[in-house]
Amino acid sequence: MGRRSGSRADEGYRIETLNRLAFPKGQNPICELTGLPATIQCVTPHVTLYYATREHAEQAWHGIMRRISPLVGPLRNPAPIIGSKEERERKALVVEMSKKALVDLCQQEASKFLTQGNYELAVPGAIQAIALAFAQDAYGAQSLEMVPAYLLLSQANLGLARLQSAEEFLSLANWVVLRNPDCSSAVRSQLHQNFGKLYRAQGKLDKALQELSSHVYCSSVEVGPEHISTSAGYFLMADVFYTQRKVNTALAFYDKVVDIWYKLLASMCHGSADEVPEEQLAEVPTYPLALALASDALLSETSLQSCILDPSSGPDATVTQQLAEVDASMLLLLVRCWPLTCVHMSCRPQLTCC
């Protein structure tokens, strides 16, 4: 076996160059992430994993394997089952429950990295969730439990601008949903939202609006049209309308997002609303963030309006430099928030917590 070309022994694993001659004829290890022929092995005390490159090994370890390697080893190399029929059945039940719990853990880790915007590290967890579900028969290929992992992979690939891969995983999720007519509105909402994001990235704006409209409808059926989960759809639709240069329509949708978040934050400050989950906070720019931009920027309302509503005029050099790293959708939301800051806050209840 090749000599060690990298080591992280203090972190519980080491990376070695793979000697393919050490394997029986016809047995060719493949990469856990890409399916390509493996050239690297990641050795842990519990299981040995194979990858195409050192980068893939590091990505997989920090993405998910550091959490699940002690659990994956026994599943891949199960001990002989002995004892009575009842003991064997009890052990089989425990193993099945462990498989499903492991799939859930992989999805949670992938979702966490997506929330943080770390798309590279979100991929291994979602891939492991699918691999475990198929290889260990935790769920059937047509089971709705497979859809979240497909959606996680599609979101990660969208974040990495791998549009073809994102479309493939979305197609797999859509196939499962079509095979299950009793699928919930929540799952359908997520599926339509991701298709909307994909079509927007591909420049298919009419298709994007159609999918995002379906997302808003399904989300409204599930949680209501004024829920913050539904506001994500309004925000994405506003982005598409702005890209189509339908500025007034875009501003109306952004205003709806601001209104939903204002009501939520007001109710939270008065103790009449539940805490907002982190993944929903990361979905759309929030009202306090927009207000912070408005109060912090050295921009006037006039220069912002002229920059957004009449791009041909353009702001001066100072404003251009300040706006360099702020995308158009955030600026539009800022424009809508500005009157709330200057005028409406005088007639609305102040967002002050006791």
Q: How many CB atoms lie within 10 A of CB 11?
A: 11
Q: Give the pLDDT confidence score for residue 262 in this predicted structure.
A: 82
More confident residue, 231 or 336: 231
Give the whole-angstrom CA distance, residue 241 versus residue 250. Answer: 5
Q: For the residues 89-111, what does the mean pLDDT come to?
A: 83
Q: Give the pLDDT confidence score for residue 76 in this predicted structure.
A: 76
Compute the CA torsion angle 172, 175, 176, 178 (nearest 10 deg).
160
More confident residue, 298 or 151: 151
- What digits encode the pLDDT tens for the residues 166-222? 999 999 999 999 999 889 999 999 999 999 999 999 999 999 999 999 999 999 999
User: Is residue 336 scored above 70 in pLDDT?
Assistant: no
Which residues sit opposite 50 in a β-bridge? 41
The mean pLDDT value of the chain amounts to 76
Lowest average pLDDT, out of 106-115, 145-154, 308-317, goes to: 308-317
pLDDT band at 267 (very low <50, low <70, confident <90, very high): confident
Q: Which two tokens stand for residue 207?
A: 């298709």
Domains of the chain are 1-77 (no CATH), 93-180 (1.25.40)
Q: Give the pLDDT confidence score for residue 167 in this predicted structure.
A: 96
Give the whole-angstrom CA distance, residue 202 versus residue 196. Answer: 10
The three-state secondary structure class of 169 is: helix
Q: Which two tokens stand for residue 341?
A: 């800051």
Q: Give the pLDDT confidence score for residue 130 in this predicted structure.
A: 85
The three-state secondary structure class of 5 is: strand
More confident residue, 287 or 211: 211
